[in-house]
Each structure stands twice: as C-alpha cells, then as structure tokens.
Amino acid sequence: MIKEGILKGADRKEESWKNTKLGEPFKEALDQFRKDALGREDFDPTALLQFGLFMSMAVINMLKENEASFGIEGQKAANKALIKTGYDVGRQIIEKAEVPPDISPIELMSFLTTIVNTQAWTSIEDPRIDAEDKCSFDILWCPLQNVYRAFDCRVQRYLVQGIIDAFKEFNPTGKDYQIEFTKTIPAGADCCNFVITEKKPGEPDIWEDYSKLLEQRALKRMKKSKER
C-alpha cells in the first residue's frame, strides 16, 4: 500500500491551504451519489474504478478511430471535445474560488493542481512548492496506469489543456505557467512527475508544443498501420 502522498479531502501542510476554498467538479452529481449509493452496505467502491476505466478506454478508442477514419480532421474534432471537457472541469474548480489575499501565485497554482489530481483524476499526489516561481508534484498512483499505454496518456493532455485555459481565464493572479512532465508510470517509471514554472514573456508554450508533436506521431503511426 502507498502510504505517502495525499488523496481527496486531505490537508496540505501550507498554512494558506486552510483558508483556500476551491470548487468540486460535478458537485451536484456527487451530492446525489452520496445520498443514493455511497451509504449502502452492498456498495463496492471498486465499481467506480471499473466505470471510470470503461469510460477512459472508450475515449482513447474513439480518438484512435477518429484518426483512422478521418485523419487530421478527426483528430482535431476529438481533441477539441477533450479540451472543452477539461475547460468545464477547470471552470467548476476556479470560478467561485475563495483565496486568502496573501496567498502567493505559485501556491494557488499548486493548490489548483491538487484539486485536479486528487478529485478529477482520483490519484495519489505528492505536491511540493519548490520556489516562488516553481512547484511540482508526483503522481504515486493513477487509476489509468494499468490500462493506458504510455502513448495513450496523450488523451490527458487535451483535458489538461482545457483546465489550463479555464485557470488562465479565471485566475486572479494573472500569472501564466509552463507545465511539463519528466516521467510517467505507463512508460515504466515509479511515478509520474510534473513540473510547473512561471512562464516568461515570449516563451513558447511547452505543453502545447509537445501536444502538437504527439499529434503528428499519432497520425504517422496510423498511416503505417494502414500500410501493413
């Protein structure tokens, strides 16, 4: 059992965490779930993981079929839908946020990622504030790690892109950030590691640029598979 890291509802060590209130994605559905199912003695919580994996595999298969049938246009349509979904989740988290006036921009960004990681992705997160312009986190366990291949994780990039877009729109600090990963569990690492740094004016967007590279790789893979 992984004993390190935090899950949904856990406290962080930063003092400002206690006075920060962020939204809970899909709160109405969660409240109904707590009322109708969670308290039942015959409810097995692993059913939620099964359902989530079912939906996740549907998403990656739909993306692949779109690419196979419609090429770049199919890929764009699928990615657009993922970004739209991510934006809605990000909006629910940030639009009614209550943050202490003395919270630092990097703390707020780190707290936002904790909500995303522990709620939207139901993962075990080990977050860190590394400097006044840098934070990072490890994902110690992810519900997709045993069903997604490393390349399948590109689906998450567009959900994250939508979340980033929402945070930019609603973020009261006005700061922009670079987000990149250094390793992932599906690729064989012991954890997924992500680093977030304050973006300097004029810098290219690392997250978007790598997403475009993966899009090109996906289409090349699809083309090669058809030629066999």
Q: What is the identity of the amino acid at 216? A: Q
pTM (global) more than 0.75: yes
pLDDT attached to residue 170:
85
CA distance 52 to 72: 27
Tens digit of pLDDT at every position of the chain (228 positions): 899 999 999 999 999 999 999 999 999 999 999 999 999 999 999 999 999 999 999 999 999 999 999 999 999 999 999 999 999 999 999 998 999 999 999 999 999 999 999 999 999 999 999 999 999 999 999 999 999 999 999 999 999 999 999 999 887 777 899 999 999 999 999 999 999 999 999 999 999 999 999 999 999 988 877 766
pLDDT attached to residue 221:
87
The secondary structure of the chain in percent helix, strand, coil, rounded to multiples of 5, reads 55, 15, 30
CA distance 123 to 101: 29
Tokens 């692949």 belong to 64
Distance in angstroms between the alpha carbons of the first and the last residue of the chain: 43
Give per-residue burial for 34-52: e unless 16+ CB within 10 Å, then b: eeeeeeeeeeeeeeeeeee
Residue 211, judged by CB atoms within 10 A of its CB (0-12, 13-18, 19+), counts as middle
Distances in whole angstroms, Cα of residue 187 to Cα of each of 39, 101, 194, 222: 37, 40, 14, 20
pLDDT attached to residue 228:
64
pLDDT attached to residue 175:
86
pLDDT attached to residue 184:
96
What residue ranges define each of the domains in the chain, with the CATH number in brackets?
A: 15-227 (3.30.1380.20)
Helix (H, G, I), strand (E, B) or coil at 183: strand
CA distance 228 to 206: 34
- The residues, ordered by sequence, that sit 6+ positions from 153 with a Cβ below 8 Å of its Cβ are 144, 184, 186
pLDDT attached to residue 58:
97
